[in-house]
Amino acid sequence: MGRRGRRFESAHPDLFLQALQSDQLVSTPFLSLIIPAHNESERLPASLEAVKRYISSLPFETEVIVVENNSSDATAEIVREWMNTMPQLRLINLAQPGKGNAIRTGMLAAQGAFRFMADADFSMPVEEIGKFLPDDKPLASVGIASREAPGSKRIGEPFYRHLIGRVYNLLVRLLVLPGLQDTQCGFKCFSAEAAQAIFPLQRLEGWSFDVEILTIARQLGFEIAEVPITWHYQPGSRMHLIQDSLQMAKDLFTIRQQRKKGLYHAPKV
């Protein structure tokens, strides 16, 4: 149900079926951790070890959902091996590529009262998830990790990548999301209500999906809070810097146009 008791219907009906096709179910958790994984066989084991250690210290039930999509390596097999010793872990396999596709599917499959998306490399220390859930309550319906908010730290990032990121964020603020200083960090937390309202309306599946889901959140009236984090640059990004940056800039105009058309409002029933 929506924020005013309205039911939201997905622009992608098959996503709800995909979301249910997971290898294991757990009882209703307080926190769901969603990790998109495309060809992450090298980085994922260390990340799962850190996650396992962290969630074992939490006083509430947690589920971990790895959404593997279109990998050509052993990502899925590695997750299945970890499931033998990590009962909170679930695996969803998708044939379709796209990080946005993986996140949307994971968010709609999640059962948690709060749903946290995290990059597989965990460039943000896993312990910082606690910043998004002080006293078991979120800072806002949508909390986004920020490398620009007061108190944040960037470690090891090449200057040229930082510069490109800041130029892109300037475009984001000018065109669609004034006031948000960092929309692209891969760590974001949504209340169940926000996730269930926002992700059925998501249309983009590439790198620009972060901007789109935050635009939808604002259109639906959800509060967005930027949470300062310590972020460590990790080499090996799947992003093609020039080509993908140009596409992301183009996507901003698509998002702006779709917002004007009213495509980011909850459908009336």
* pTM for this model (two decimals): 0.86
Mean pLDDT of the chain: 87
Between 218 and 237, the more confident residue is 218
CB 113 within 8 A of CB 192: yes
Which of 120, 121, 125 is CA-nearest to residue 231?
125
| Residue 77 in domain | yes
Whether residue 108 is predicted with pLDDT greater than 50 in this model: the reply is: yes
Number of domains in the chain: 1
Residue 51 lies in a domain: yes
Residue 141 lies in a domain: yes
Write out pLDDT tens, residues 147-162: 999 999 999 999 988 9
Q: Residue 241: its pLDDT value, please?
A: 67
pLDDT for the residue 268:
59
Position 140 scores a pLDDT of 87
Give pLDDT tens digits for 58-94: 999 999 999 999 899 999 999 999 999 999 999 999 9
- The domain in which residue 212 lies consists of 14-260
The Cα–Cα gap between 76 and 35 comes to 12
The 10s digit of each residue's pLDDT in 160-217 is 889 989 999 999 999 999 999 999 999 999 999 999 999 999 999 988 999 999 999 9
- What is the reported pLDDT for 134? 65
Give a yes or no: residue 269 inside a domain.
no
pLDDT in the model for residue 9: 36
> Quick check: is 153 in a domain?
yes
In a domain, 60, yes or no: yes
Q: Does the residue 2 lie in any domain?
A: no
- Examine residue 6 and state whether it is found in any structural domain, yes or no: no
* CATH number, position 150: 3.90.550.10
